[in-house]
Structure 1
Amino acid sequence: MNVQSADNQALKAVIERVRGVYGRWRRDTSVAEMRADWERLFQPREPITPHYFDAKGVPVAWIAAPGADDTRTLIYFHGGGFRVGSVASHAELMLHLSRTAGCRVLGVNYRCTPEYGYPAPVEDGLAVYRFLIEEGIDPARIALAGDSAGANLALNLLLRLRDQSEPLPAGALLMSAWTDLAATGESYESRADADPIHQRPMIQSMAAGYLGAGIAADDAAASPLYASLNGLPPMLLQVGEAETVLDDSRRFVELARDAGNAVELAVYPRMIHVFQQFMHELPEARAALDEAGAFLRRCW
């Protein structure tokens, strides 16, 4: 793929914006303040009016670009370590996916820690998916997407649906996927200096807060990397080359291919965690969103 590359100053500015948020957080920073900071970090640069409603008890919102095909539905699960993030913080990313994929996007405000832990987010994802099926939407016209913890949630939802013999969606887009909550990948060491934010202790702490004492980080029910991966729909994984979670994607793709799945991996040089959210600053983000849209169109 021929991708125009961001200059060093643009990438540095993005990294400093993210570090500026994380750098303000201390042990006594409230979750409410963290969530507000996250929404300010990703405040849309254009007007977006999500249509909020309730789907089987789960808060959700439709976001659709003008001209989007409302027979194509993308369910989107936001990232944020199962602690921060929301439809609001990811609204612009969802809008751009709506444009490139030509679909409507249903953003999910699933339950997060510390109020709720595993398996509440997966149960919310399952409820939303079943809501769409009960509304008469063909699973072949539904796809899943998510970033980071949201990608973990999307994969766990796929595995639940498969194991319960429920109809599977047409495909899944997974950005900076968190597939290994135990953080065992070699990239946690090799990319430690390159990644501006996510280090192994932080990843393990977020996992512990989400899982509690009831389930191990390497349990297949929580970490898709350790699950049986046969019988899944087409998947595209996008990840930045500078991420400590790089191996979460590389190892998952290798195992998923060995299990007979159609799965693609796109590693973007120099890019950081969920770089797609910086579509205004980074050409790579715009290229990744175009690639994601083309993949989803093929799925439908």
Structure 2
Amino acid sequence: MWHEMLWPLAAAQQSMDLVNRQMLASQCRLLRDYLNELNTNCRLPHDIELMTLDINGRAAELLSPKGSPTQRYMLYLHGGGFALGSLDTHRELAMAFARHADARVLAIDYRLAPDYPWPAGLEDALAACHWLLEQGVTPERLAIGGDSAGGGLAVSLLQSLRREGHRQPAACVLLSPWVDLSCSSPSMDLNAATDPLLNRVQMRAFAELYAGKQPLDSPAISPLFGDLQGLAPLHVQVSLQEVLRDDARRLVQGVQQQGGRAEIKETAWMPHVWQLLYRYLPQAASSVRQASRFIKAFTAAA
């Protein structure tokens, strides 16, 4: 799986003092190309229809359950540290949500660091959401989803929609969201020995590539430090053993303290974004179905 490809990159980043920023950027580009090539032969299952789109100059895909009259939509934002990931790496997960949530899932190939630091990715996510609204998708029929960096981007999207005066989507599903790019969550150290995929040094490097000249604790970069009032109902999933555990907990607590609706489901001994292993792990399939039930409970299908 593509997560395994992060291991050598993490091992090469044991000290930020030893990593040249330009070299790290080059590593990201090479790894991104490799991951995309690795996932290009994903077969489209018989029960899913795929429509290719161009949204504001970015490639996008609309994945729909074949034969379903559903008018429920989901905008899904892939993870990858804001520097990796693509439509190819997350297509199977998007299809799983289309199937189990009975939804038309829009995935967009948003711009990535280091070539396009903040706010490029957020601008593309906003453009995708605006496109759905322009097609007549009403907020009560729309859910937002994302994993890891895509989860943080999803929260930033909700905050941006509120600032623009739009109504919030009906639901938001976040898988191991990365919402504090300053890497100050206690679990960043407490779970360092139990997370086989991520570590503070690696994540700090990705954060700096994404943030550019912005401070890592800026609300624009780390949505955890932004306004958490009035957001869509959140369903958050996280592993008890991963370094982002407390990002998820702090986000849910922050939303609840502002009077919002947020729930968290913690699973033991799962890797970061284990839901990507949907076809292989029973726990991953169970988690996707659980998140899908949340989407169906809060969104209208017609």
Question: Does TM, scored on the shorter chain, surpass 0.5?
Answer: yes
Which residue matches 1:37?
34
Task: Tell me, in whole angstroms, the C-alpha distance in 2 between the residues paired with 1:95 and 1:69.
Answer: 16
Q: What is the 5 A alignment of 1:140-179? A: 140-179=140-179
Task: Tell me, in whole angstroms, the C-alpha distance in 1 between the residues paired with 2:40 and 2:241.
Answer: 24
Whichever residue aligns with residue 115 of structure 2, its letter is E
Task: Tell me, in whole angstroms, the C-alpha distance in 2 between the residues paired with 1:224 and 1:21.
Answer: 24
SS in 1 for 2:292: helix
Task: Tell me, in whole angstroms, the C-alpha distance in 2 between the residues paired with 1:24 and 1:175.
Answer: 22
Deviation at 1:113, TM superposition (A): 1.0
Whichever residue aligns with residue 295 of structure 2, its letter is L
Deviation at 1:175, TM superposition (A): 0.5
Whichever residue aligns with residue 32 of structure 2, its letter is R
SS in 2 for 1:95: helix
Are 2:283 and 1:284 aligned? Answer: yes
TM-score, structure 2 length as denominator?
Answer: 0.88
Task: Tell me, in whole angstroms, the C-alpha distance in 2 between the residues paired with 1:243 and 1:163.
Answer: 32
Task: Tell me, in whole angstroms, the C-alpha distance in 1 between the residues paired with 2:130 and 2:42.
Answer: 33
SS in 1 for 2:107: strand
Unaligned stretches of 5+ residues in structure 2: 13-22
Would you say the 8 A contact 2:64–2:98 is kept in 1? yes
Unaligned stretches of 5+ residues in structure 1: 1-13
SS in 1 for 2:285: helix
Would you say the 8 A contact 1:64–1:105 is kept in 2? yes
Would you say the 8 A contact 2:6–2:197 is kept in 1? no
Deviation at 1:117, TM superposition (A): 0.5
Q: What is the 5 A alignment of 1:79-158? A: 79-158=79-158
Would you say the 8 A contact 1:69–1:103 is kept in 2? no
Task: Tell me, in whole angstroms, the C-alpha distance in 1 between the residues paired with 2:295 and 2:112.
Answer: 27
Q: What is the 5 A alignment of 1:256-271? A: 256-271=255-270
C-alpha spacing 1:196/1:253, structure 2 compared with 1 (3 Å): same
C-alpha spacing 1:282/1:86, structure 2 compared with 1 (3 Å): same
Whichever residue aligns with residue 169 of structure 2, its letter is P
Task: Tell me, in whole angstroms, the C-alpha distance in 1 between the residues paired with 2:196 and 2:222.
Answer: 24
Whichever residue aligns with residue 230 of structure 2, its letter is G
Task: Tell me, in whole angstroms, the C-alpha distance in 1 between the residues paired with 2:118 and 2:59.
Answer: 18
Are 2:72 and 1:75 aligned? Answer: no
Would you say the 8 A contact 1:44–1:91 is kept in 2? no
Deviation at 1:211, TM superposition (A): 0.5
TM-score, structure 1 length as denominator?
Answer: 0.88
Which residue matches 1:47?
44
Whichever residue aligns with residue 194 of structure 1, its letter is T
C-alpha spacing 1:192/1:62, structure 2 compared with 1 (3 Å): same
Which residue matches 1:8?
none
User: Which segment is superposed worse, 156-165 or 36-45?
Assistant: 36-45
Task: Tell me, in whole angstroms, the C-alpha distance in 2 between the residues paired with 1:72 and 1:294.
Answer: 13
Task: Tell me, in whole angstroms, the C-alpha distance in 2 between the residues paired with 1:47 and 1:56.
Answer: 25
Which residue matches 1:9?
none
User: Which segment is superposed worse, 260-269 or 47-56?
Assistant: 47-56
User: RMSD between aligned alpha carbons?
Assistant: 2.0
User: Which segment is superposed worse, 221-230 or 50-59?
Assistant: 50-59
